[in-house]
Structure 1
Amino acid sequence: MGNSLKAKPPQRIRADHASELAEDYVEAIADAIAEKGVCRAIDLVKQFAVTHATVNNTIARLQRDGLVVTETYQPIELTEAGKRLATKSRKRHRIVESFLRKLGVSESAAAADSEGIEHHVSSETLAAMKRILDQGWPSNGCT
């Protein structure tokens, strides 16, 4: 591998994967609350096509991490930290998806691809994507 193209350090990949699930869940919870006024575990079971046990375990982790609050058989609510994470995740998703569309990627492929990329793109790359969306392509020879 050349010096200019380094692989992601394993620590960053592990951290990305650890936060990916939390980001997906808080975003889904925020969407359900915005759409229906409430989010219940069954909404997440349907959204992610997983079991109640999987959702319950994930919600317990999110609660432990201070991102959600809930009680047994009660709706799931985002904490302020959970709301911030959902907003940040949604923003990253929109930037990546819009950038892919600007590249000429189809709407369906951009939607699917951005779902994975958003969790692994660095802040530097995300900022560059946003600059191109806001200002257009740089005139430094990149095409």
Structure 2
Amino acid sequence: MKPSPRSRPRRATPTGAGALARSHRATRAAHASELAEDYVEIIDDLIASRGEARVVDIAACLGVTHVTVSRTLTRLRRDGLVTTVPYRSVFLTPGGRALARACKRRHDLIVAFLRSLGISRPTARADAEGIEHHVSRETLRAFARATPSPRRRAPKR
């Protein structure tokens, strides 16, 4: 016979469980933000280079299925970053364009900073993809101060 729920001893909540839960919520929110930033950047790049951003092209850029892209676009629509037309292109809202431009500036700054350290262009670009979502504003300001301005940089050879 099973003991009734009232007669079972209560399990103790692990020490720090509340803080751990807050940390996990923050991590999930940060991941969702990273995903949104990656999508709006790619959509903006596709529109700039091809004149449109189609689900199939977004999927190819990210190496995911069209179903994954469709689900993410639903969230981005809900968040006011994109609009879609069935069986047509994906469009950025003004908020989506602003986010894409901010992400691009941040990405370009990180690439420039890494390049100023002597990192090759392909490696700097790849590393910037991994770094860009995890750098604080304070660190970005330091990168900007430490990076030569484009006007003062030596010409490419």
Match of residue 91, structure 1, among 79, 99, 105: 105
Structure with greater helix share of residues: 1
Instruction: Give how far 1:132 is off.
Output: 1.2
In structure 2, the partner of 1:33 is 47
Question: Partners in 1 of 2:26 and 2:134 — Cα distance?
Answer: 9
Question: Partners in 2 of 1:122 and 1:13 — Cα distance?
Answer: 15
Question: Partners in 2 of 1:126 and 1:15 — Cα distance?
Answer: 21
Contact 1:13 1:120 in 2 (8 A): no
* Higher relative contact order, chain-length normalized (CA < 8 Å, sep 6+): 1
Q: Letter of the aligned partner of 1:89 in structure 2?
A: C
Instruction: Give how far 1:133 is off.
Output: 1.3
Question: Partners in 2 of 1:77 and 1:55 — Cα distance?
Answer: 14
| Alignment pair present for 1:124 and 2:138 | yes
For the residue of structure 2 that corresponds to 1:119, the secondary structure is: coil
Distance 1:15 1:103, change over 3 A: farther
Aligned positions, number: 127
In structure 2, the partner of 1:57 is 71
Instruction: Give how far 1:26 is off.
Output: 0.3
Question: Partners in 2 of 1:71 and 1:53 — Cα distance?
Answer: 16
TM-score by length of 1: 0.83
- In structure 1, stretches of 5+ residues that fail to align are 1-8, 136-143
Contact 1:66 1:82 in 2 (8 A): yes
Question: Partners in 2 of 1:47 and 1:134 — Cα distance?
Answer: 31
| Alignment pair present for 1:115 and 2:129 | yes
Instruction: Give how far 1:29 is off.
Output: 0.4
Q: Give per-residue Cα distances to partners, 1:51-91, cap 9 Å, x unaligned.
A: 11100001111001000001221210000000000000000
Contact 1:62 1:68 in 2 (8 A): yes
For the residue of structure 1 that corresponds to 2:102, the secondary structure is: helix
TM-score by length of 2: 0.76
- Calculate the aligned-residue CA RMSD, in Å: 1.6
Match of residue 114, structure 2, among 73, 86, 100: 100
Question: Partners in 2 of 1:47 and 1:121 — Cα distance?
Answer: 23
Max Rg structure: 2
Q: Give per-residue Cα distances to partners, 1:28-71, cap 9 Å, x unaligned.
A: 00011011111110111110111111000011110010000012
| Alignment pair present for 1:43 and 2:57 | yes
Instruction: Give how far 1:16 is off.
Output: 2.9
- In structure 2, stretches of 5+ residues that fail to align are 1-21, 150-157
Instruction: Give how far 1:124 is off.
Output: 0.5
